[in-house]
Amino acid sequence: MGRTRPALAVNLIVGMLSSGSDEDLFEMAETKLEKKFGPIDLASGAIPFNFTDYYKEEMGTDIRRKFISFERLIKPDRIAPIKVFTNRMEEDFSAMRLSAGRPINLDPAYIGGGKLVLATTKDNAHRIFLEEGIYAEVALRYVGGRFVPLPWTYFDYKSKEYLEFFSRVRELYLDKLERQVVEA
């Protein structure tokens, strides 16, 4: 019989999408997210999002993605309430009528030693229900010293820029685990 153990803390990241004309929304979102989850310890630059036209109708053209990583680690079961919080943030930005349609998309995820897990509101065969209408998806595995996509991994999450960022976050994460920088 296996013995239960507490889950290791994981590294929270948030991917943000916004139109190139609305890049100041990244800064506004970061400020709100830092208030809730603590200091950001790593941020990517704005990466062109040209992998799909999925968001074009609601977000416009020249969409960019930016990732941020938080200094404090979280317990993995916090990802569902975090996704609910980021969904509410998106609604708040939309209500501000800063731009037409959906001004910003916020995608929380976490990185552990062996995987990157996305939180989503969309069910599918490879997703596990958590709570409050939120599902979890392992999008990348860490194998042989690198992140490896799975058959359902989004195209952008397979890109060199994303994988490099995730690898840097994983290095920070392993260091934090040693120092136990965990959310209170």
Q: How far apart are CA 76 and CA 70, in angstroms?
A: 14
| pLDDT score of 98 | 61
Q: Which DSSP state fits 182?
A: B
| pLDDT score of 22 | 61
Q: How far apart are CA 10 and CA 135, in angstroms?
A: 17
Taken in order of first residue, the domains within the chain and their CATH numbers are 10-178 (3.30.70)
> Residue 156 pLDDT more than 60?
yes
Q: Which residue would you say has higher pLDDT here, 103 or 40?
A: 40
Q: How large a percentage of the chain has pLDDT more than 70?
A: 93
Confidence of residue 184 (pLDDT cuts 50, 70, 90): very low
Q: Report in angstroms the alpha-carbon separations of 29 from 20, 55, 78, 152, 180.
A: 15, 19, 19, 28, 26
Q: Which two tokens stand for residue 86?
A: 């980021």
| pLDDT score of 99 | 60
The pTM assigned to this predicted structure is 0.93
Average the pLDDT over 170-178 and give the result: 95
> Residue 101 pLDDT more than 70?
yes
| pLDDT score of 17 | 94
Q: For residue range 20-60, list pLDDT tens digits in order.
A: 766 689 999 999 999 999 999 999 999 999 888 888 888 88
First to last CA, the chain: 32
Average the pLDDT over 5-24 and give the result: 88
Q: How far apart are CA 175 and CA 46, in angstroms?
A: 26
Q: Which residues contact 2 (CB under 8 A, 6 or more apart)?
A: none
* 126-158 CB burial, b ≥16 within 10 A, e <16: ebeebeeebbbbbbbebeeeebebeeebbebbb
Backbone angles phi, psi at 149, to 5 degrees: -70, 160
Q: For residue range 56-76, list pLDDT tens digits in order.
A: 888 888 899 999 999 999 999
Average the pLDDT over 151-161 and give the result: 96
